[in-house]
């Protein structure tokens, strides 16, 4: 379940073309179980109607501090006191400037100024033209707002409504949602660096053919995302999969097992936790042809010899930092049967303190899974749930062991 479920968020819109994304954000927040109270500035109403936002949030929208619906006529106090956060998206250049100076000439800025600063976090998603964004005035405002404790989200990069290209776009709704979820998540891995491998590897036979497996990478990507949510710096070494990179996760794409080992060895010294979820090919063709292998008409099949790939997990787990306890290594076991017995034996064989077993054929490509955590004291099951939920539970478990 999302960390946003049950929260009450004031969603403020200031004037900007990115307001169309706020409709989607509102919908996504409601879907995540958030009570969304929309407040719009007059400028915002030029881009989006209050009717749309009311329909999406399921609550009347406030646009004026003189709103007579409030018995005491103090909407700025009444709407913000119980809020878990005020999220201003889009936050225009003008609105950031107003926040910085403590301006309060309309309801949204008045509400931001009047909020109990220690109880109601203020999160802003800037949105503006690239020149406005890079202007020293805006950059100064952003720095000072951060110093004042305001959470200023990143801006996106790309084509802008004005026809120019650059920094300053508002993040997409799902990116803001992800950042809000991270904001509200407990941070048991704060200050830690986590290295994750994910997906299959691909071992070339020739330039057009190769050997791979059915791993989708979903579990590893969910773990990378959960580790970031838990406060860690995360590097994800991914085999060939077409999954989007979790936000704020550094991704290194590789193909073969040997490339994966190289990438891991380059990153692992900075890590305190190594989680090896990749389904590394156990063997690769002994020779990879430079040119496509052609049929010669004789009906003869090519003779493929194999050599064993390096065991990435075992290599890392036997390194001095892992042996001395500075690096905590977690292995995965994809089995087809006798999970407990195989996982127990594999944990010892790989030399890792924690091994996570799952039934491979039942989970490859699926969004759900069940995990069996095996350590030296025994085994504990994380019952069937979404891979995201399991990843969060696993991060909690790992954090307790560090
Ligand atoms: N692993 C690895 N490098 C390899 C093979 C496996 O790093 N060359 C890691 C996997 O990422 C996983 C663990 O080792 O964390 C176990 O992988 P699995 O494929 O289940 O086990 P294998 O060692 O390949 O043993 P087997 O196929 O015989 O079950």
pLDDT tens over the chain, length 402 residues: 789 999 999 999 999 999 999 999 999 999 999 999 999 999 999 999 999 999 999 999 999 999 888 888 888 888 888 999 999 999 999 999 999 999 999 999 999 999 999 999 999 999 999 999 999 999 999 999 999 999 999 999 988 888 888 899 999 999 999 999 999 999 999 999 999 999 999 999 999 999 999 889 999 999 999 999 999 999 999 999 999 999 999 999 999 999 999 999 999 999 999 999 999 999 999 999 999 999 888 989 988 999 999 999 999 999 999 999 999 999 999 898 999 999 999 999 999 999 999 987 777 778 899 999 999 999 999 999 999 999 999 999 999 999
Residue burial 249-276, b: 16+ Cβ < 10 Å; e: rest: bebbebbbbbbbbbbbeebbeebbbbbb
Q: Which of 13, 67, 23, 86 lies closest to 44 in space, CA to CA? A: 13
Element (H or E) spanning 328, and its range?
strand 328-335
Per-residue pLDDT at 159: 86
Q: How distant, in Å, are the alpha carbons of 195, 227, 362, 382 from that of 358? A: 20, 20, 8, 10
Q: How are beta strands 368-375 and 354-359 bridged, if at all?
A: antiparallel
Per-residue pLDDT at 71: 86
Per-residue pLDDT at 258: 98
Pocket perturbation via mutation, ligand 1, pick of 283, 311, 353, 363 by most ligand atoms within 8 A of CB: 311
Find out whether the beta carbon of 311 lies less than 6 Å from any atom of ligand 1. Answer: yes
Q: What is the widest separation between alpha-carbon atoms in the chain?
A: 92
Q: Ligand 1 centroid to 279 CA: how many Å? A: 7
Pick the atom of ligand 1 nearest to 330's CA.
15
Per-residue pLDDT at 77: 84
- Is 162 a known active-site residue? yes
Residue burial 66-77, b: 16+ Cβ < 10 Å; e: rest: ebeeeeeeebbe
Structure-block tokens of residue 300? 């003869």
* Residue ID of nearest Cα to ligand 1 atom 12: 332
Pick the atom of ligand 1 nearest to 277's CA.
11
> What sign has the CA pseudo-torsion 17, 19, 25, 27?
negative
Spell out the residues 6+ positions from residue 244 whose beta carbon is closer than 8 angstroms to its own.
Answer: none
Contact criterion met (CB below 8 Å) for 151 and 113: no
Catalytic residue among 26, 112, 162, 329: 162
Spell out the residues 6+ positions from residue 74 whose beta carbon is closer than 8 angstroms to its own.
Answer: none
Pick the atom of ligand 1 nearest to 197's CA.
11
Contact criterion met (CB below 8 Å) for 317 and 333: no
> What sign has the CA pseudo-torsion 79, 81, 87, 90?
positive
E-assigned strand segments in 105-221 = 122-126, 151-152, 156-159, 165-169, 193-198, 203-206, 209-211
Q: Ligand 1 centroid to 311 CA: how many Å? A: 7
Q: Ligand 1 centroid to 304 CA: how many Å? A: 22
Spell out the residues 6+ positions from residue 147 whose beta carbon is closer than 8 angstroms to its own.
Answer: none
Q: Ligand 1 centroid to 334 CA: how many Å? A: 8
Find out whether the beta carbon of 358 lies less than 6 Å from any atom of ligand 1. Answer: no
Contact criterion met (CB below 8 Å) for 253 and 259: no
Phi–psi pair at 83, nearest 5 degrees: -70, 140
Find out whether the beta carbon of 131 lies less than 6 Å from any atom of ligand 1. Answer: no
Q: Ligand 1 centroid to 189 CA: how many Å? A: 26
What is the rounded CA–CA span in Å between residue 161 and residue 178?
Answer: 24
Contact criterion met (CB below 8 Å) for 237 and 214: no
Q: Ligand 1 centroid to 276 CA: how many Å? A: 9
Pick the atom of ligand 1 nearest to 331's CA.
15
Q: Is 292 left (phi over 0), alpha (psi -120 to 50) or beta?
A: beta
Find out whether the beta carbon of 317 lies less than 6 Å from any atom of ligand 1. Answer: no
Contact criterion met (CB below 8 Å) for 355 and 333: yes
Q: Ligand 1 centroid to 263 CA: how many Å? A: 17
| CB-neighbour burial class of residue 78 (10 A; exposed 0-12, middle 13-18, buried 19+) | middle
Find out whether the beta carbon of 276 lies less than 6 Å from any atom of ligand 1. Answer: yes
Contact criterion met (CB below 8 Å) for 368 and 313: no
Per-residue pLDDT at 72: 87
Find out whether the beta carbon of 215 lies less than 6 Å from any atom of ligand 1. Answer: no
Structure-block tokens of residue 42? 């007059």
Among the residues of 148-268, which ranges form H helices? 173-184, 218-229, 257-267
Find out whether the beta carbon of 331 lies less than 6 Å from any atom of ligand 1. Answer: yes
- Token match 């120019």: residue? 164
Per-residue pLDDT at 173: 97
Contact criterion met (CB below 8 Å) for 355 and 330: yes
Find out whether the beta carbon of 333 lies less than 6 Å from any atom of ligand 1. Answer: yes
Pocket perturbation via mutation, ligand 1, pick of 217, 239, 273, 276 by most ligand atoms within 8 A of CB: 276
């Amino acid at each position: 379940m999302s960390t946003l479920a049950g929260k009450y968020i004031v969603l403020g819109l200031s004037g900007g073309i990115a307001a169309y994304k706020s409709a989607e954000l509102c919908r996504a927040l409601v879907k995540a179980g958030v009570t969304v109270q929309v407040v719009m500035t007059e400028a915002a109403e030029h881009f989006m109607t209050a009717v749309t936002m009311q329909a999406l949030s399921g609550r009347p929208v406030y646009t004026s501090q003189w709103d007579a619906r409030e018995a005491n006529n103090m909407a700025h106090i009444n709407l913000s006191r119980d809020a878990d956060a005020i999220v201003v998206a889009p936050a225009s250049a003008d609105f950031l400037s107003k926040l910085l100076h403590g301006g309060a000439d309309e309801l949204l800025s008045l509400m931001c100024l009047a909020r109990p600063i220690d109880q109601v976090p203020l999160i802003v998603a800037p949105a503006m033209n690239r020149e406005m964004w890079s202007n020293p005035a805006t950059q100064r405002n952003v720095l000072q707002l951060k110093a004042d404790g305001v959470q200023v989200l990143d801006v996106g990069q790309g084509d802008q409504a004005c026809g120019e290209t650059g920094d300053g776009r508002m993040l997409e709704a799902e990116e803001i949602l992800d950042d809000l979820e991270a904001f509200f998540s407990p941070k048991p891995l704060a200050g830690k660096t986590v290295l994750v491998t994910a997906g299959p590897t691909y071992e070339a036979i020739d330039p057009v053919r190769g050997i791979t497996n059915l791993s989708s990478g979903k579990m590893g990507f969910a773990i990378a995302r959960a580790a970031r949510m838990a406060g860690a710096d995360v590097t994800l070494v991914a085999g060939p999969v077409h999954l989007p990179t979790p936000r704020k996760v550094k991704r290194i794409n590789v193909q073969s097992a040997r490339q994966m080992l190289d990438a891991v060895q380059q990153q692992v010294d900075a890590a305190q936790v190594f989680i090896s979820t990749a389904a590394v090919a156990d063997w690769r063709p002994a020779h990879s042809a430079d040119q496509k292998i052609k049929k010669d008409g004789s009906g003869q099949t090519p003779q493929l010899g194999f050599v064993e790939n390096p065991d990435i997990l075992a290599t890392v787990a036997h390194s001095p930092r892992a042996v001395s306890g500075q690096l905590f290594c977690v292995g995965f076991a994809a089995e087809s049967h006798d999970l407990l017995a195989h996982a127990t034996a594999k944990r010892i064989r790989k030399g890792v303190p924690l091994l996570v077993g799952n039934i491979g054929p039942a989970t490859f490509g699926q969004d759900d899974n069940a995990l069996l955590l095996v350590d030296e004291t025994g085994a504990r099951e994380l019952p069937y749930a979404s891979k995201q939920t399991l990843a969060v539970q696993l991060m909690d478990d790992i954090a307790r062991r560090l």
